[in-house]
Amino acid sequence: NSTEIIQAKVPHTAARTLAEGEFNRLFARGLSSRAIAEGIEFVEAYRARHSENPRPESQAVIGKKFRPEEILEDLRNNPGVDTALGVPPGPNSGITIKLVK
């Protein structure tokens, strides 16, 4: 067995960006599960953190309503950064979901 070491330069914020993105995914899963349990029909995407240069794809999802079952299934089926529905829309977006009552 040989072991190859590869070095790559990453931004000094990489660990924080990864952690925030994973937290947001888990938060969205938990909130979607809660919405389902409480019979709440929709969750809504909103900007939870300010962004100096918001991406168009992030802006496009703000205010959209989604069925929590769809969010939960999407997050389960797409374990990486990207989701089919675009919620959450990737690392550093500042977008998450909230309950709609």
State the DSSP string of 9-76.
---TTHHHHHHHHHHHHHHHHHHHHHHHHTT--EEEEEE-S--SS--HHHHHHTT-EE-HHHHHHHHH
Residue 31 falls inside a structural domain: yes
State the pLDDT at residue 52. Answer: 84
In angstroms, the CA 89 to CA 96 distance is 8
Count: domains in the chain: 1
* SS3 assignment, position 2: coil
- Cβ atoms of 94 and 48 within 8 Å: the answer is yes
State the pLDDT at residue 63. Answer: 96
Q: How confident is the model at residue 1 (pLDDT cuts 50, 70, 90)?
A: low
Provide the domain limits for residue 78. 14-100
In angstroms, the CA 38 to CA 36 distance is 5
Residue 21 falls inside a structural domain: yes
pTM: 0.83
Residue 51 falls inside a structural domain: yes
Looking at per-residue pLDDT, the higher value among 41 and 87 belongs to: 41
Q: Lowest-pLDDT range, 8-12, 27-31, 85-89, 90-94?
A: 85-89
Looking at per-residue pLDDT, the higher value among 42 and 8 belongs to: 42
Residue 8 falls inside a structural domain: no
